[in-house]
Chains A and B, each alone.
Chain A
Amino acid sequence: MNNLVFGKYIPIDSLMHKLDPRAKLIGLFLMIAAVFVPKSWWVFLVIALVLTVALLFAKIGIKMIVQSFKPMIMMMIFLLVINSLTVKTGDVMFMIGGFAVYKDAVFNTLFVVVRLLLMISITTLLTATTNPLDLTLGIEWLLKPLEAVHFPAHEVAMMVSIALRFIPTIIEETMRIMNAQKSRGVDFENGRLSEKISAILSLIVPLFSVAFERAYELADAMEARGYVPGVKRTRYHVLKFSFRDFLFIFICVLILAFSIASRFYL
């Protein structure tokens, strides 16, 4: 579980960490749009440079970003194969067993891959520098306008934050049940598929049963402490925009503008 880099929060203190989560979320959307619009390699290079500067500000090593690309390798190979089979324009670049691979196929794939990698880097930058709970608060703020059409933004945010709070508890529980079942002779690693399925079932069934029990008890505890869904509450964490947040959003807007302009002038 620990080698999963994508979406992991790095609890250090940096300029990027200090930004308001709402500003970072807005920035994320602007930057992703900026990555989607251009048709020129030059724009990607500029965005990559800006990202590198942002990473320096966030005190996040390039190594972590590279690691976050790992899960994408299979997808890139898949893209290359599909593109090679379908795109038949441009010069023939090379032949594989009598099958011609065209230049456009390779370049189109590379273009999409770079686009994806930039998007992943931007998202990793957000999740690595924003505490999940602050992120929840930011998302709640973004969803707030939907409350006009009776979308329960606060309740959704509450659900997400409770889910985040219980992840370590549930992992601990999974380990405990696994050990308990192992001590009763269940083998999780070896055996035929059917045996493996029954082993996993012996883990899943108690895990679910305990999770439901927890949910009921937690609901009681919340109710007893005066929580009524849909009723107005005050908030302990109050987000405040400051000058640097506006500056950050402004920079992101500039990059998006540059990227849109590039389609007309480059």
Chain B
Amino acid sequence: MSLIEIKNVSFSYNETKKAVNDVSFDVEQGSYVTVIGHNGSGKSTLAKLIAGLLPVKEGKILIDGKEVNEENISSMRTRLGIVFQNPDNQFIGSTVRDDIAFGLENKLVKSEDMDAIIDEYAKKVGLEAFLNYEPQNLSGGQKQRVAIAGILAMKPDIIIFDEATSMLDPKGKKEIKKLMYDLASGDDITIISITHDIEEVLQSDDCVVLNKGKLFMHDKPEEVFRNPEKLRQIELDVPFIEKVREAFAKHKIKLNADDLKGMVDELCRSSSKH
């Protein structure tokens, strides 16, 4: 049994168009799944459906084999965290300390136990020196790290990243991605990341491609990118390495390596044979 099962889920904001249209896929315990697709492909809607922020009216979402519905959504929420795109709009407390405490207050953690938990998770995201900072004195990347700490403190087993790096500068992006990879490397946290970052997709275990609300592809990232033509059909970008592979293929040179260094080796070997 998979940790999350999404079965024939559809959702529409208005009657004319379905934002998510009959999507089904499974997410395994401890895996790192990326979701890509164009703006308006239904990625964020899907994330909100999984997080229980939108009601699932058509189809089913099961977590641990249990269907998520109105009654059990609040208990499901403690298992599931979501990091949003805009660093400012998810900072609820007046300081880093208060923001991490917000989720703990909702989880009815005793006030005398909170400081230890706050310290632990602030350290985990490298913000132990910033605990008394106010949001306006933090960078975007730091605010996203606070959001992650706030969610980790609630000990969820699923974290959804909804384009969590797209509003950050390159440095912040790098920091958050590193943190995500660290979390993904363990088995206890399952990550679903909605992203535009092709390099991040290559790091994930599984990739879901959405197009106009429908599931377009669901496979290992390498397999997804082996079909550059198919991705271009829906105007999605292809990683640099696949572009290189494609360019050589036009000259009837077939390269199989998965990274650039491997490709160079392959090329050198084949040219020394001639």
Contact = CB atoms under 8 A, between A and B. Distances in A.
Contacts of B40: none
Interface in A117-169: 133, 161-162, 164-165, 168-169
Interface in A182-234: 213-214, 217-218, 220-228, 232-234
Contacts, number: 90
Nearest to B53: A220
B93 A218 contact: no
A63 interface: no
Contact of B114 (A168, A223, A227, A236): A236
Given A218-B89, A233-B105, A165 B82 contact: no
B114 A169 contact: no
A220 B136 contact: no
Contacts of B74: 226, 228
B102 A227 contact: yes
27 contacts: A133-B94, A161-B94, A164-B94, A165-B92, A165-B135, A168-B134, A169-B135, A213-B89, A214-B86, A217-B90, A218-B89, A218-B92, A221-B82, A221-B90, A221-B147, A223-B53, A224-B53, A225-B150, A226-B106, A233-B106, A233-B108, A234-B111, A236-B101, A236-B104, A236-B114, A237-B98, A237-B111
Kindly name the residue among A172, A213, A220 whose own CB sees the greatest number of chain B CB atoms within 10 A. A220
A74 interface: no
**Contact size range, B:** 35 or more
B31 to A, nearest CB: 21
A217 B108 contact: no
Interface in B75-114: 77-78, 80-82, 84, 86, 88-94, 97-98, 101-111, 114
What are the nearest 7 A-B pairs in CB distance? A226-B106, A236-B101, A221-B90, A217-B89, A225-B103, A168-B136, A233-B105
Nearest to A171: B136
B46 interface: no
A224 B52 CA distance: 8
Contacts of B102: 222, 225, 227
B49 interface: no
B154 interface: yes
B209 interface: no
A218 to B, nearest CB: 5
A218 B91 CA distance: 8
A172 B150 contact: no
Nearest to A162: B92
Given A214-B89, A233-B108, A238-B111, A224 B82 contact: yes
Contacts of A133: 94, 98
Nearest to A226: B106
Nearest to B75: A226
A232 B109 CA distance: 11
Contacts of B82: 221, 224
Contacts of B154: 225-226
Contacts of B33: none
A133 B109 CA distance: 21
Contacts of A169: 88, 135-136
A190 B265 CA distance: 68
Nearest to A161: B94
Contacts of B78: 226
Contact of B109 (A161, A213, A221, A234): A234
B138 to A, nearest CB: 12
A185 to B, nearest CB: 28
Given A165-B91, A165-B93, A218-B92, 19 more contacts: A133-B94, A161-B94, A169-B135, A218-B89, A220-B53, A221-B82, A221-B90, A221-B92, A224-B52, A225-B102, A225-B151, A226-B103, A233-B106, A234-B104, A234-B110, A236-B97, A236-B114, A237-B98, A237-B111
Contacts of B84: 217, 220-221
Contacts of A165: 91-94, 135
A228 B76 CA distance: 13
A48 B226 CA distance: 82
Contact of A224 (B81, B98, B104): B81
A225 B135 contact: no
B53 to A, nearest CB: 5
